[in-house]
């Protein structure tokens, strides 16, 4: 079982497209659930900002990934997985020069959204509050940057203009920080997980050390959907009945 979990994590980090990673998870889903491990998909809304970047606003985006809840001694679990689509950054930055008079003129008076795309892997301890369906979780999260760009937008004569500038090389490929969250399990503890998580980066993500440090900060609103849990329970029941014969 743990070899399958490790294989899924490694495949997810090696495949470039987020939807391919989710497809891999769905294909393996039925085989990744057992009495000790729950596998599922995670997705929702992300609100992010870059601490240290002035004159910016919070950026909204969607997140998508998969998770494993590994049972420890009650009421504790170990939570991990991969957020394969995790866009962070900041919105509404002031326009700066692109080194082209035509582009500078076109986007004068517009705005810039800075978007950093990571594969994020959390390693959290999860605590189920006794006699309730609430849970608390906390632990480190590590990110691998695979794309970074500034998106310039402006409206000229009723037409919306967009230009993307690649800025990936301006940021370190690795991020690390701390995630804390809380949630609720629906259907008397057998259904979807709905939760909120707060992430604060602890390392400067910029390559240029001459200015102030910049760290990631994100608020995740997520829904966790167990995959293959019903079939896993059927397998366990059949196995128990076979042993009792």
- pLDDT per residue, tens digit, the chain (245 aa), is 545 545 455 545 444 444 444 554 554 555 566 678 888 889 999 999 999 998 889 999 999 988 999 999 999 999 999 998 888 999 999 999 999 999 999 999 999 999 999 999 999 999 999 999 999 999 999 999 999 999 999 998 888 999 999 999 999 999 999 999 999 998 776 778 999 999 999 999 999 887 789 999 999 999 998 886 555 555 555 555 566 66
pLDDT tens for residues 52-109?
998 889 999 999 988 999 999 999 999 999 998 888 999 999 999 999 999 999 999 9
For residue 189, the model assigns a pLDDT of 62
pTM: 0.82
Q: Give bridge partners of residue 117 from the DSSP assignment.
A: 87, 147
Give strand ranges (E) for 20-75: 37-51, 59-71
For residue 5, the model assigns a pLDDT of 46
For residue 38, the model assigns a pLDDT of 87
For residue 188, the model assigns a pLDDT of 73
Question: Which DSSP string do the residues of 147-176 spell out, in sequence order?
Answer: EEEEEEEEEETTEEEEEEEE-GGGB-SEEE
Cα(49)–Cα(221) distance, integer angstroms: 15
Q: Report residue 78 as tokens.
A: 């170990």
For residue 51, the SS3 value is strand
Residue labelled with tokens 């090696």: 14
CATH architecture of 2-244: Beta Barrel (2.40)
Residue labelled with tokens 């019903």: 230
Q: Go through the chain and tell me how many residues it has.
A: 245
């Amino acid at each position: 079982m743990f070899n399958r979990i490790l294989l899924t994590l490694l495949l997810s980090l090696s495949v470039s497209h987020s939807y391919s990673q989710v497809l891999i998870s769905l294909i393996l889903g039925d085989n990744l659930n057992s009495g000790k491990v729950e596998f599922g998909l995670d997705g929702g809304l992300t609100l992010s900002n870059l601490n240290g970047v002035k004159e910016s606003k919070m950026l909204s985006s969607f997140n998508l990934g998969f998770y494993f809840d590994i049972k420890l001694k009650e009421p504790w679990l170990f939570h991990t997985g991969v957020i394969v689509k995790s866009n962070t950054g900041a919105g509404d930055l002031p326009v700066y020069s692109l080194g082209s008079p035509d582009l500078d003129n076109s986007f004068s008076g517009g705005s810039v959204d800075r978007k950093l795309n990571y594969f994020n892997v959390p390693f959290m301890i999860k605590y189920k509050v006794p006699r309730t369906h609430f849970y608390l979780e906390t632990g480190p999260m590590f990110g691998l940057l695979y794309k970074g760009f500034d998106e310039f937008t402006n409206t000229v004569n009723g037409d919306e203009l967009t230009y993307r500038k690649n800025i990936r090389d301006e940021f370190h490929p690795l991020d690390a920080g701390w995630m804390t969250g809380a949630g609720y399990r629906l259907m008397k503890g057998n259904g979807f997980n709905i939760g909120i998580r707060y992430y604060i980066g602890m390392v400067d993500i910029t390559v240029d050390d001459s200015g102030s440090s910049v760290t990631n900060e994100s608020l995740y609103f997520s829904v966790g959907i167990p995959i293959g849990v019903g079939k896993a329970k059927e397998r366990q029941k059949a196995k128990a009945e076979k042993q009792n014969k």
